[in-house]
Every structure is written in C-alpha cells, then in structure tokens.
Structure 1
Amino acid sequence: MDSREVPRPKVPSFDQTEINWDKLDKTKLYVVGAGIFSGVTVALYPISVIKTRMQVASGDAVQKNAFSAFRNILAVDGIRGLYRGFGTVITGAIPARIIFLTSLETIKAASLKMVNPFNLSEPVQAAVANGIAGMSASLCSQSVFVPIDVVSQKLMVQGYSGHAKYNGGLDVVRKILKAEGIRGLYRGFGLSVMTYSPSSAVWWASYGSSQRIIWRLLGHSRDSEDVPSQWKIVGVQATGGVIAGAVASCITTPIDTIKTRLQVMDNQKRQNAREVVKRLIAEDGWKGLYRGLGPRFFSMSAWGTTMIVAYEYMKRLCAKSEEL
C-alpha cells in the first residue's frame, strides 16, 4: 500500500448502533412491528386509563393520586376497567404507527442531510434532525390517531364522573356522528396537534441528543473504533428513553389535560379550551393543569423506553442482509 494513501476515516461508534431506513426490509418491519407494539400496548394501556380518569374527574370524584384511581377502577369494574377502549386503540394503532414510523425514518434521514453542512455538534445535530422528524411524523399520523383517541377516551371514562355509557367503540362512533357529524371525531384535533407534535419533537430530540451525550460520557466519540456490546447499546437507548419521557411529559402535560377534557365532554356540556382551563384552576388551582402528571410521566417514560428498545431491536431483526 502506498504510504501516502489517506487513511480511512474512523466510524463513530453511535453510527454502529443505528440502522438507517434504506437498510430495512419494510414488509418485515411492519409485520414484526405490529406484533411487538401490540404487546407493549397490552402491558402499558392501564396507565393511560388511570391518567385519563385523573384528568377528567371533577368534584368529589377527583382522585388524590394514581394509586387511588387504580384502586377505584378495580373496585368498580375489576381488571376489565383497566382495558376500557382497548379494542379501538389496538385496531387503529397499527395503521397510525405505520404512518408514524415511515414518516419518522424518512424525514430523519432527510433532516440529517439538511443539517450536516452547518457543522453542529453531534448532540445538537441529532436533536435538530430527530426533533424535526418526530414533529413531522406526529403531524402525519394525527388524522388517524385523533378519532381513535376520541373514541377510546370516551370508553375509558364511560359511566364515571357523570359521563355517558356506550355499547362499545362502534356505538361511540355512531352517537358522535349523529350528534356532531365527522367533526365530532376530530374534537380537540388542534390541541392534539399542539400536544403530540411538540411532545413528539421534544421526545425524539431529547432521545437523539441524550444518546450522543451518554456515549461521550462512556468514552465513545467520533474517534472511537471499538463497537459497543449489545447490552451497552440497549442500556444507552433505555436511558435515553427515560430522559426523553421525563422532559416531554413535564412540558406537555397541561395541554394534554385540556385536550382530554375537551374530547370526553358530552355535546350538551361542551366548553372551549379557555373555559376548561378556568374550571381546572377553580377546582384545583394551577396544579390542576398537571393532573395525571405522575401516570403521564411514567407512561411516557415506560412506553418510550420500552418502545425505543423494542423498535431498535426490531430494526436489527429487519435489517437487510449485506450483499457480498
């Protein structure tokens, strides 16, 4: 070899932990993903029910903490009460997640190319690209997700704190369409976009940047040649998920509380966002805007951590074989 030959650049260790969209078998990804994310939803769904109950409760029905809400649900409805609306969510979540993940990965790849010329630090570059991708993916999936959210949350709180009862998800849809038309299925759409899009942007930005920072703290930088072990990769991804969940839940819980209240209201009791805020403050002070913060933080951290570890593992399972 010519001694003047320029040495090959070293590959940053974090790139060895990520699999780009163009390296994935998309069909396998969607099939495997449907199974994995359905399993995660089964495990974490009760937390969403508890959070929703805490956010919509009024007067004497207000629960002091998540454990009280949990005991109340079990006492009144048993285990079934923790899975109210689950059928609707699991049916609609598959197309919503396909849209989300496809948008996320394609936009993230494009965003990384877009910010590359600015010579930003690795954490900032990751935060910007992941944040843009997370927000855009959330916007793309809201058209499917919001009607699912409206129906499932009405089922979660049916018969509770004065809310109406239904005979399943189709009955909810039929009554909403009769009372309000198609607009009823998109009640709170603006607030959902304001909640989930920034939340998704903050979550993915926090996750992307925290990973880079953790790798640096562990001694893996752009000049590192060693490949981290699978357990170390999973540990960093899980830690990044917890950090991202904590940041996103603290920032977006007030908007989520207002959105949830608007979505579960009966048509006769309909209020606007300003009236909802005034009532929450009157009932519980400013801390009323943070009702359900504990379950939401736990849900976002647990869901985010489980989801990201499962998703990254799924990407490794679905990676295309390298051509020789």
Structure 2
Amino acid sequence: MSPRVVSAGAIAGLVSRFIVAPLDVVKIRLQLQPYSLSDPLAPLREAPAYRGTVHTIKHILKHEGLTGLWKGNVPAELMYVCYSAAQFTAYRSTTVFLQTAVPQHRRLPDSAETFLAGAVSGAAATSVTYPLDLLRTRFAAQGRHRVYSSLRGALWDIKRDEGFRGFFRGLGPALAQIIPFMGIFFASYEGLRLQLSDLHLPWGSDDATAGIMASVMAKTAVFPLDLVRKRIQVQGPTRSKYVYNDIPVYTSAGRAIRVIFQTEGLRGLYKGLPISLIKAAPASAITLWTYERSLRLLMSFDEDKDDKGAL
C-alpha cells in the first residue's frame, strides 16, 4: 500500500475524529447516566439529568465551556491511529494464514473466512488499544472537577492505584461485542443486499444502502454491551469523582445488564444509541472528503519534488 494512501487515511481519520468528538462525549455522558429520567428524584440529584443530545450539549457548554465537548479527544485520536494499524495488520495476517495454512479441501467459504478474519482483527485491535479507550471514557466522564491532571498523570495514577489490570476494566464486554456484531452485520448485509437489488433504488447504490442498514442493525443489537463497557471503565477508586458519582458497582457484565434493566428499564440499556447512529454518517462523509483532499495534496507535493529534481 502506498505511503501516500496510508498518510491520507490517517489524516482523514484524525480530522474526522476531531470534528465528531463532541458527539462522542455526549454519547458517553448519556451512557453513564445511572438512573431513569422517569425517576421523580432525577432532577433533584447533584449530578446533571441529561435529557437528550441537545440538552446535554447545552449543559456541557454552560458548565464546562467549549473545551468540555472535546474531553478525552487526545487518547481517542491515539486510539484511532493505533486501532486502524492493529486491525489492518491482524486482518491481513489472519487472511494469509487461513489461505495458506489450511489445506485446500478444508478451506472455509469466502464469507466465513472474511467473518473470521474480521472477528480476529477486531478482537486484536480492541485488546491492544483498550487502555486508550478506557482513558478516553474517563476523561469524557469528568465534569467541572478534574480527576486526572493530564494524560501522563492518568497513566501514572491508574498504574499506581489499580495496577496493570486497571487499564483493562470492561475488556470482557468489549470483546463480547465483536463476534455477534460481525455475525449480525454479515448476515444482515447479505440478506438485505439480495432484497434491495430487486427494488432498483433511485440512488442506485444497493451495496452501500445494505451496508448502512446492516451496520445500524448490528450496532443496535450489541449496544447494551457497549454501554456496560463504559460503566465498568469508570469503576475503581475514582468512581465517585466523575460527573455521575453514584454509578453502581458491577461485578460482571451479566450482572450490570440485569441491574440496569431492573433500575432503568429496557431504554436504559440503549442510552446514547441515537447519537451513536447519527454520528456515523457525518464521520464517514468527513473522512472521505478529507481523504480525497489529503491524498491530492500529498501527490502534489511529490510532483513538485519531481519537478525540482528534474531541473
């Protein structure tokens, strides 16, 4: 793969991540809200009662300023770059292994190979970059009172107070998302693609439409595990210092789902889902727009170098 393509992809990802970061902070705040808004005591609690995306943004701007919408963006940017690199490497290595190490007569169907390679690469990338994901969540969960003075300070404090395992709180539900997500996505995509091909959609992109619909279905199905992961990530000695200082202690992902369902209802397991689905569209558009222009700019630099070298 051309270095220009890799560089343009990295630039596009970083720019896109920066622009949609406020939506990610809003999603995390909504996910961490540990009580139902129908609770009559909700407005009386010390912690804010976020009532949707717009209300959450207004509250953060009023009490934490504009920079509050970008809390956790540094570890999030680092996570994006590292995740992409790890995922690409693991996907390629797994695909090559399945194609060369397995005898031809025992080879899996192409769809099964793609599914397996995707699941393995997703699990590997998630595991490698998980500490950055945890740091992103903890910084986004900070309100007006800072829990960590800096990224470096957070690394030191977590290592000192929680040990190495502290960086991997919630890794279980994070990995548990991957296989069902991949399975639901590919099964939905294949089924929808065949059905949509007979409809002759006016915009003509059956594959893209099927991909978007399959992604929405898969994300919705595994979203409770994402919410549980966020809740577990802020456990530990600093639990009482975040915006929500009364998040229950969860001993496992299964218990967390039961407790949330009992105390917050079914809707409680899907807090932040709408904004999670909404941010996917602008993120993709910004990524593609930035990628094309970054690649064009990098290619123009190379052409200038060639012209100067020829003189």
TM-score by length of 2: 0.72
Q: Which letter maps to 1:64?
A: R
* CA separation of 1:207 and 1:218: change in aligned 2, threshold 3 A: same
Q: Contact (CA 8 Å) 1:246, 1:301: kept in 2 or not? A: no
Aligned-pair CA distance for 1:179: 0.8
1: CA distance, partners of 2:184 / 2:286: 16
Paired residues for 1:1-324 under 5 Å: 25-59=1-35, 60=42, 61-105=48-92, 107=94, 128-159=112-143, 165-203=147-185, 206-207=188-189, 210=192, 214=196, 217-218=199-200, 235-236=205-206, 238-267=208-237, 270-273=249-252, 274-300=254-280, 302-303=282-283, 305-306=284-285
Q: Contact (CA 8 Å) 1:246, 1:297: kept in 2 or not? A: yes
2: CA distance, partners of 1:195 / 1:267: 26
2: CA distance, partners of 1:175 / 1:54: 26
* CA separation of 1:284 and 1:164: change in aligned 2, threshold 3 A: farther
Instruction: Number of aligned residue pairs: give it.
Output: 271
Provide, for residues 130-151 of structure 1, a one-character-per-residue CA deviation record: whole Å limited to 9, x for no partner. 4323212111202322111100
Aligned-pair CA distance for 1:90: 0.9
TM-score by length of 1: 0.69
1: CA distance, partners of 2:179 / 2:67: 31
Provide, for residues 301-321 of structure 1, a one-character-per-residue CA deviation record: whole Å limited to 9, x for no partner. 554x5489679979x999xxx
Q: Contact (CA 8 Å) 1:52, 1:156: kept in 2 or not? A: yes
Gaps of 5+ in 2: 36-41, 43-47, 240-248, 299-311
37-46 vs 261-270, greater mean Cα deviation: 261-270
Provide, for residues 59-115 of structure 1, a one-character-per-residue CA deviation record: whole Å limited to 9, x for no partner. 53342322222222222223211111101111232122111123335546777998x
- Structure 1 segments of 4+ aligned residues over 6 angstroms from their partners: 109-114, 310-314
273-282 vs 82-91, greater mean Cα deviation: 273-282
Q: Which letter maps to 1:239?
A: T
* CA separation of 1:38 and 1:214: change in aligned 2, threshold 3 A: farther
**Structure 1 SS opposite 2:51:** coil
* CA separation of 1:244 and 1:312: change in aligned 2, threshold 3 A: farther
Q: Contact (CA 8 Å) 2:12, 2:287: kept in 1 or not? A: no
Q: Which letter maps to 1:147?
A: P
Which residue number in structure 2 is paired with residue 228 of structure 1? none
Q: Which letter maps to 1:256?
A: D
| Aligned-pair identity (%) | 20
1: CA distance, partners of 2:123 / 2:286: 19
1: CA distance, partners of 2:141 / 2:69: 11
